[in-house]
Amino acid sequence: MGSQLRHRGQRAVQHLLEHAPHGGALALWARHADRPAGDPDERAPVWTDGRCLFYGPAFESLRLEQQAGWVAHVILHVALRHAQRALAMQLRRGSLDLALWNRCADAIVNSALAHLGWLALPAGGLRLETVLERVLGRELEPQAALQQWDVERLYLAVVDTPPSESTPARVSSRSARGARHASGHDAHDGGRPRPAATGGSQPSGRAEGTRADRLRALAGGQPLDLVPSPSADGDDAPEQEAERAREWGERLLRAHAGDGTFSLLRTLLADLPRTHTPWEQVLRCRLARALSLRPGLSWSRPARGWLANRGRVGAHGRLPWEPGRSAACAVPRVVLVIDVSGSIDGALLARFGRELAALLRRLEAALVLVVGDDRVRDVRRFEPGGLAFDGRLDANALRFEGGGGTDFTPLLAEAVRHRPDLVVVLTDLDGPARERPACPVLWAVPPEHAGASVPFGQRLVLR
């Protein structure tokens, strides 16, 4: 731990440990590094990429209480996983306004720390209750606001401005398909944008109105202290991120309980990091269970035990014939049904394809790809272990001219024809399904359609 304290924030960390020992110990779980003078990446006096606290030369000129306020502020960014959650939001939406996300996270952290008199928060810092009142027109006490609002909800409330406050919204994919069907022209907009490069402020991909402008004006020239990095934790595996979120959540709860009234948190926040089982892990478990070789009886050869005893018991007795065991399904088969009516964007399709390809190679399973919308448009077969399917599912290559609606009945009927062990449907669940396969069915849906009901089988939300 000694090496963790040889940095510009050493006195500030000691100050936190003296006044809130359990909360101050959160700083010992993070890395600390000094940045040289004239660093082009310098932003606030201290900033973070999600794991490490970087101290600029300006940090040394602050009073001790101000230094402690900055360190407590940034260490809560780390503990609440604000940088990692920004990357997750960017992946879900296709783009992210990092500056607005930073303002929303700052407001929550500052309100959580505002009850402490032994540290000084950044001058002019936003408070959650102030943002709610002046930007969203909602009046809440600080404690009630912290218990109801997390950074995702606040960011979406600011960016997703109602039509009355903004320019007309983009036409939805369903409406575009309906217009295309009515006019005979392709009105598809090409899908959502792919995630932009991290580390910079990106447009939200939606029309922004007065809410976002009011928040920018309210923040003024406050420096940014969040610089998300995809490699901040050294491993982008969703399982690893879920485990780290769980660990930081437990540390925050222990610190809040241990420090009592001196806790860094005014109250238990709605913004505490939540642990979601990654959809990749759920998919692996369900595919492994559905495609595992099930032993069956084989009357063509005897059991090994019968052969070992040579069919005899003692000197004169004989054992009855005992059939052997063999795999009931020599080559497991998965049918992947992809709804190409516009409900799945290219980035999500690529992620799902890569994960499924890796699983099928590991399980030595065959794949049948059924592509369609209101009818079957294409069927492709891939043998187990074949190199033809590398997981690079191209959304543009899978788009076909269709009527615009979705009917799962012909797609599932085609899937049943191939006698699958598992059917996976990648869709938004908007359409009838009058054919029910005898095997398990897994409906993989984007997060924006997580509330849609499944006609049968199980739902997997691709968060």
Predicted local confidence at residue 83, as pLDDT: 92
CA separation for the pair 188, 208 (Å, rounded)? 22
Whether the Cβ atoms of residue 222 and residue 70 lie closer than 8 Å to each other: no
Picking from 244, 406, 252, the residue whose alpha carbon sits closest to that of residue 340 is 406
In 3-state terms, the chain is what percent helix, strand and coil (to 5)?
Answer: 40, 15, 45
Predicted local confidence at residue 68, as pLDDT: 94
What tokens does 432 get?
Answer: 């009838």
Whether the Cβ atoms of residue 443 and residue 459 lie closer than 8 Å to each other: yes
CA separation for the pair 190, 103 (Å, rounded)? 31
Picking from 345, 320, 293, the residue whose alpha carbon sits closest to that of residue 189 is 345
CATH topology of domain 333-461: Rossmann fold (3.40.50)
Which helix (H) or strand (E) segment is 153 a member of?
helix 151-159
Predicted local confidence at residue 196, as pLDDT: 38
Helices 64-79, 10-19: crossing angle, 10 deg rounding: 80
Residue reference for tokens 């401005």: 161
What tokens does 141 get?
Answer: 């006490």
pLDDT of the chain, 463 residues: tens digit per residue: 444 557 899 999 999 999 999 999 999 999 999 988 776 666 789 999 998 999 999 999 999 999 999 999 999 999 999 999 998 888 777 788 999 999 999 999 999 999 999 999 988 889 999 999 999 999 999 999 999 999 999 999 998 755 444 433 333 334 333 433 333 333 333 333 333 333 344 444 444 568 999 999 998 888 899 988 765 444 455 667 777 888 888 899 999 999 988 899 988 888 888 766 566 667 777 777 777 666 667 777 777 777 777 666 666 666 677 777 765 555 678 888 888 776 666 777 777 777 777 777 776 778 888 888 888 888 888 877 553 444 555 544 554 444 457 889 999 999 999 988 889 888 888 888 998 999 889 888 887 787 888 899 888 887 6
CB atoms within 10 A of CB 410: 16
CA separation for the pair 101, 83 (Å, rounded)? 9
- How far, in whole angstroms, is CA 222 from its chain's centroid? 29
The domain spans of the chain are 2-276, 296-327, 333-461
Picking from 174, 225, 130, the residue whose alpha carbon sits closest to that of residue 449 is 174
What tokens does 106 get?
Answer: 């700052």
What tokens does 225 get?
Answer: 């202290």
Q: How many CA atoms lie within 13 Å of 36's alpha carbon, on the beta-carbon side?
A: 3
Predicted local confidence at residue 186, as pLDDT: 38
